Amino acid sequence: MSTPHLFQPMTVRSKEIRNRIWVSPMCQYSCENQDGMPNDWHLVHLGQFAAGGAGLIMAEATAVNPAGRISSEDTGMWNDEQRDAWARIVRFIHEQGATAAIQLGHAGRKASDYRLFDARCGTTKPISEGGWRTVAPSALAFPGFDVPEELDIAGIDRVVDDFAAAATRSVQAGFDVIEIHAAHGYLIHEFLSPLSNIRTDEYGGSLENRARLLLRIVRAVREAIGDHHGLFVRFSATDWAEGGWDQDQTAVVAAMARDAGADVFDISTGGLIDGVEIPVGEGYQVPLADHIKSASEVATSAVGLITTSEYAEEVLASGRADAVMLGRELLRDPHFALRAARDLNVHVDYWPRQYKAVQWKARQPADN
Ligand SMILES: Cc1cc2nc3c(=O)[nH]c(=O)nc-3n(C[C@H](O)[C@H](O)[C@H](O)COP(=O)(O)O)c2cc1C
């Protein structure tokens, strides 16, 4: 019997990823002292997925500069202390045989929020409480948030430089893969979508102009990380809104980003517009990953309510994506990949040696 698709390794640049069950980036809002430093929580949180057999562990949206944080408790990669704190986590992930990835982002007009588990989440934290002035392509507010400042060209140049510097530090910390966060209504997505970008300069208007910031960042990050590291882009492939960003524009820009040096497209949706109706259900974003994969002949990962090994295998076996990313199901069961191997009758050699007895027991008669 051939190996199920979920457990076939995938090579991205010089890295072989041991399987195609990947951890979706999940903000933990858990930095102490508002210093952007990952700590013991991040080590345990990400480390459990590596011990649990996932192929690639994607660290949360990590800000390339302080103004790019969603909340004051977000992780950062804008200084060497943060880089060194990440290096400890990367070492642990590698010791478990998993691939270490980090999502780099800038939250744009949705920055300076309260963290998710604060009742005030969804409103701008005032400067008097440690918040900051937000920036965006245009001075258009997201509902609940303050009106952002329109970025000028020098400000745009700084954002590109900050992504490149953060990518350099990520490689120094040992990360194998860098993901650029161009989704969920944050800065890069705000440039892409005509609903949040009404600029009249070379960064607004045509698709080419709206994609200019992303493509500059892809090129700058590729130059910073060299040829051996993987570069992913997470897109929201639709705003789920009339006149907004959609799957056809995503497919065109994904092809441009591939030519600029990106390897894999991580396909999510939404986040730009409040109150839109999203047809949520099992694998509801898979058709978008499928569309972008076939329209642009690029590698994609699918994410969103993929919760069983059988369904995840079906997504890959039908050729609709190259890998699956899981978020909440992995919070429920960090050992999802090891369980999936058992469900699909696959022998994997990456059970943590400390857990080998469990594996042995499971293969013996119950009374043994
Ligand atoms: C606690 C939490 C934090 C998240 N943080 C991020 C993030 O940092 N970056 C991102 O692109 N998506 C983030 N997401 C979205 C997930 O990566 C994922 O796309 C989404 O949860 C859908 O997948 P799921 O149905 O498997 O959970 C987050 C989701 C959760 C539940």
CA distance linking residue 156 with residue 77, whole number of Å: 18
Residue 154 backbone dihedrals phi, psi, to 5 degrees: -65, -35
Whose CA is closest to atom 23 on ligand 1? 304
Exposed, middle or buried, 12 (CB in 10 Å: 0-12/13-18/19+)?
buried
* Residue 364 reports pLDDT greater than 70: no
Structurally, what CATH architecture does the domain formed by 5-362 represent?
A: Alpha-Beta Barrel (3.20)
Using an 8 Å Cβ cutoff, are 235 and 265 in contact? yes
Say if ligand 1 is within 6 A of residue 24 CB.
yes
Return the pLDDT at 3: 95
From the CA of 330, give the closest atom in ligand 1: 26
Using an 8 Å Cβ cutoff, are 280 and 286 in contact? no
- The helix (H) or strand (E) run that includes residue 192 is helix 187-192
- pLDDT tens digits, residue range 117-158? 999 999 999 999 999 999 999 999 999 999 999 999 999 999
Angle at which helix 153-173 crosses helix 212-225, to 10 degrees, equals 30
> Per the confidence metrics, is the pTM higher than 0.95?
yes
Say if ligand 1 is within 6 A of residue 23 CB.
no
Could you give the residue numbers annotated as active site?
186
CA distance linking residue 58 with residue 75, whole number of Å: 13
Say if ligand 1 is within 6 A of residue 110 CB.
no
Say if ligand 1 is within 6 A of residue 311 CB.
no
DSSP states of 38-80 as a string? --HHHHHHHHHHHHTT-SEEEEEEEESSGGG-SBTT--B-SSH
* Residue 297 reports pLDDT greater than 50: yes
Return the pLDDT at 156: 98
Taking the centre of ligand 1 as the mean of its atom positions, its distance from the CA of residue 236, in whole angstroms, is 12
Say if ligand 1 is within 6 A of residue 183 CB.
yes
Region label for 271, one of left (φ > 0), alpha (ψ between -120 and 50) or beta (otherwise): left
Return the pLDDT at 359: 61
- pLDDT tens digits, residue range 221-248? 999 999 999 999 999 999 999 999 999 9
Query: What's the mean pLDDT when you consider all of the chain?
Result: 96
Whose CA is closest to atom 14 on ligand 1? 26
Whose CA is closest to atom 31 on ligand 1? 328
Return the pLDDT at 356: 81
Whose CA is closest to atom 18 on ligand 1? 327
Taking the centre of ligand 1 as the mean of its atom positions, its distance from the CA of residue 70, in whole angstroms, is 14
Taking the centre of ligand 1 as the mean of its atom positions, its distance from the CA of residue 269, in whole angstroms, is 11
Residue 204 backbone dihedrals phi, psi, to 5 degrees: -140, 165
Whose CA is closest to atom 3 on ligand 1? 26
Residues 165-170, mean pLDDT to the nearest whole number: 98
* Residue 366 reports pLDDT greater than 80: no
DSSP states of 209-256 as a string? HHTHHHHHHHHHHHHHH-SSSEEEEEEE---SSTTS--HHHHHHHHHH
CA distance linking residue 303 with residue 286, whole number of Å: 7
CA distance linking residue 26 with residue 328, whole number of Å: 9
Say if ligand 1 is within 6 A of residue 189 CB.
no
Whose CA is closest to atom 29 on ligand 1? 26
Say if ligand 1 is within 6 A of residue 61 CB.
yes
Return the pLDDT at 161: 98
CA distance linking residue 58 with residue 199, whole number of Å: 33
* Residue 255 reports pLDDT greater than 80: yes
Say if ligand 1 is within 6 A of residue 303 CB.
yes
Residues 85-110, mean pLDDT to the nearest whole number: 98
Say if ligand 1 is within 6 A of residue 71 CB.
no
CA distance linking residue 291 with residue 326, whole number of Å: 20
Taking the centre of ligand 1 as the mean of its atom positions, its distance from the CA of residue 204, in whole angstroms, is 28
Return the pLDDT at 365: 56
Structural domain spans, the chain? 5-362
* Residue 78 reports pLDDT greater than 70: yes
Predicted confidence band at 357 (pLDDT cuts at 50, 70, 90)? confident
Return the pLDDT at 111: 98
Ligand 1, from 21, 22, 24: best to mutate by most atoms within 8 Å of Cβ?
Answer: 24
Residue 199 backbone dihedrals phi, psi, to 5 degrees: -65, 155
H-helix segments, 260-308: 286-296
